[in-house]
């Protein structure tokens, strides 16, 4: 009885192991676009609007145009819960289905996937998050993080402060605080801020928020009260943001001296603070509201037909929703570009990588897409996978975000050398890091 049972079990296990890959061969008449999203867990507050935006734009393309150049997009969400373990599991489950591109939507998951991308030949789009150094296309041919890195963002913050104070030379002696999540994501802007602190003579104060204390920031704000920083830059995510804004309002920190990175600029981040949160600033690179033809199309083709997961129509056009839409635009444009480059209708990861590398979304093209002035024109090259594009500042007026500045260029001379250096270090530390062998396409 027993040995037979084990023989059977062995046979079954071997069979199961052998048959799994076979069952995954999918008919390829559509382009497979997996979206790693999180609608559950502590970070769902930031994750849900982004997920909705990405999903709805791609769904709109399917409804309105029948996909991209006549090829339907097969959009599939995989729930990660912002958990690295589940993210890796998602990656393993989608990688056999020839994904066009992967959106990890978590810096932690991105870091795990960066080394795998080149091996599995799947490009990774970590839009304005992930590893800043991966902007270097010569070392990271498969990773893309347009339109700008956290380092660019931090440099814009410094530039904005300087413009308020009346010039770069006025920064001397000022105190700039960084309130950040105590995790790799939150610590990302530190090196560039330190470099700039040395160069421009301001003092950098760090206020780390441990992940467990996201909603319990009392002592940090005591520190703030002691140090009296002139400006604070927030690099937070999830429940940390609304708590920070609320605490700042509580202790009477001037709201117009508090600026969040683009991920700290969700509507749900500012709203809980009530009237006290009015005036809170955030960096941003996508337009807010529904006054764009593309958002109107999403409303018409997706939301009104009940094909979206948004819980009320009023949430369409929120900042993070539109962020998701912009992310999906980049995916779609890269696919379109890949189709043009290869002449194939159904493109897979390798083609889409080329599509990204010669991506050039001009202002005219943005207008064509129904998104005039919605986002910065994005131009990528083989060497530069980021673009280091400009951002603007938005202000919370109590009910919605309002654009209050022009496009501000990052301080590239600070950021670019740092990127080159850290990318090189990354490759050196990882013995056997592959040299770039992928050929370079001319920009379209």
How many residues sit close enough to another protein to count as binding (CB under 8 A)?
A: 96
Cβ 276 to another protein shortest distance, Å:
9
Pick the piece of the chain touching another protein (CB under 8 A) from 36-44, 57-65, 284-292, 409-417: 36-44
Interacting residues with another protein between 158 and 187 (CB under 8 A) = 182-184, 187
Instruction: Tell me the three-class secondary structure of the chain, residue by residue.
Output: CHHHHHHHHHHHHHHHHHHHHHHCCCCCCCEEEEEEECCCCCCHHHHHHHHHHHHHHHHHHHHHHCCECCECEEEEEEECCCCHHHHHHHHHHHHHHCECCEECCCHHHHHHHHHHHHHHCCCEECCCCCCHHHHECCCCCCEECCCCCHHHHHHHHHHHHHHHHCCHHHHCCCEEEEEEECCHHHHCCHHHHHHHHHHHCCEEEEEEECHHHCCCCHHHHHHHHHHCCCEEEEECCCCHHHHHHHHHHHHCCCHHHEEECHHHCCHHHHHHHHHHHCCCEEEECCCCCCCCHHHHHHHHHHHCCCCCCCCCHHHCCCHHHHHHHHHHHHHHHHHHHHHHHHCCCCCCHHHHHHHHHCCEECHHHHHHCCCCCCCCCEECCCCECCCCCCEEEEEECCCCEEECCCCECCCHHHHHHHHHHHHHHHHHHCCCCCCCCCCCCCCC
**In this complex, which beta carbon is closest to another protein, that of residue 134 or of residue 358?**
134
Judged by CB under 8 A, the residue of 63, 77, 165, 420 near another protein is 77
Cβ 54 to another protein shortest distance, Å:
13
Kindly state whether residue 420 participates in binding another protein, applying the rule CB under 8 A.
Answer: no
**In this complex, which beta carbon is closest to another protein, that of residue 37 or of residue 322?**
37
Kindly state whether residue 208 participates in binding another protein, applying the rule CB under 8 A.
Answer: yes
Cβ 163 to another protein shortest distance, Å:
28
Kindly state whether residue 118 participates in binding another protein, applying the rule CB under 8 A.
Answer: yes
Pick the piece of the chain touching another protein (CB under 8 A) from 9-17, 154-162, 284-292, 372-380: 9-17
Kindly state whether residue 43 participates in binding another protein, applying the rule CB under 8 A.
Answer: yes
Pick the piece of the chain touching another protein (CB under 8 A) from 168-176, 257-265, 268-276, 324-332: 268-276
Kindly state whether residue 225 participates in binding another protein, applying the rule CB under 8 A.
Answer: yes
**In this complex, which beta carbon is closest to another protein, that of residue 49 or of residue 376?**
49
Kindly state whether residue 311 participates in binding another protein, applying the rule CB under 8 A.
Answer: yes
């Amino acid at each position: 009885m027993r040995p037979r049972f084990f023989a059977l079990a062995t046979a079954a296990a071997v069979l199961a192991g052998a048959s799994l890959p076979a069952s995954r061969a999918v008919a390829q008449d559509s382009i497979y676009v997996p979206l790693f999203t999180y609608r559950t867990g502590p970070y769902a507050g930031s994750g849900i609007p982004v997920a909705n935006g990405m999903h709805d734009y791609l769904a709109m393309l399917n409804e309105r145009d029948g996909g991209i150049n006549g090829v339907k997009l097969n959009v599939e969400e995989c729930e990660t819960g912002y958990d690295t373990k589940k993210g890796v599991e998602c990656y393993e489950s989608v990688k056999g289905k020839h994904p066009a591109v992967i959106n990890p939507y978590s810096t932690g998951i991105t870091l795990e996937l960066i080394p795998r991308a080149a091996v599995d030949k799947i490009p990774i789009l970590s839009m304005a998050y992930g590893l800043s150094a991966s902007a270097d296309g010569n070392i990271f041919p498969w990773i893309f993080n347009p339109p700008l890195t956290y380092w660019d963002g931090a440099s814009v913050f410094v530039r904005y402060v300087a413009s308020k104070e009346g010039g770069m030379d006025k920064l001397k002696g000022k105190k700039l605080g960084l309130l950040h999540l105590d995790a790799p994501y939150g610590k990302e802007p530190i090196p560039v801020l330190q470099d700039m602190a040395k160069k421009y003579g301001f003092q950098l104060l760090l206020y780390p928020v441990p992940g467990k204390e996201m909603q319990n920031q009392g002592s940090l704000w005591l520190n703030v009260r002691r140090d009296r920083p002139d400006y604070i830059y927030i690099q937070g995510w999830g429940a940390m943001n609304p708590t920070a804004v609320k605490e700042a309002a509580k202790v009477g920190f001037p709201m117009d001296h508090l600026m969040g990175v683009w991920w700290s600029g969700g509507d749900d981040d500012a709203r809980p603070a009530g009237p006290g949160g009015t005036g809170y600033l955030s960096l941003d690179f996508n337009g807010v509201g529904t006054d764009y033809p593309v958002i109107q199309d999403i409303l018409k083709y997706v939301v009104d037909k009940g094909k979206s997961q948004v819980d009320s129509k009023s949430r369409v056009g929120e900042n993070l929703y539109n962020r998701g839409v912009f992310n999906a635009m980049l995916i779609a444009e890269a696919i379109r570009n890949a189709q043009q480059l290869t002449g194939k209708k159904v493109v897979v990861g390798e083609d889409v990588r080329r599509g990204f590398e010669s991506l050039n979304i001009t202002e005219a093209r943005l207008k064509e897409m129904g998104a005039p002035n919605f986002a910065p024109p994005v131009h990528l090259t083989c060497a530069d996978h980021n673009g280091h594009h400009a951002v603007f500042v938005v202000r919370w007026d109590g009910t919605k975000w309002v654009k209050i500045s022009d496009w501000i260029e990052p301080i590239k001379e600070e950021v670019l050398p740092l990127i080159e250096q850290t990318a090189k270090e990354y490759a050196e530390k990882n013995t056997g890091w592959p040299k770039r062998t992928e050929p370079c396409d001319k920009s379209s």
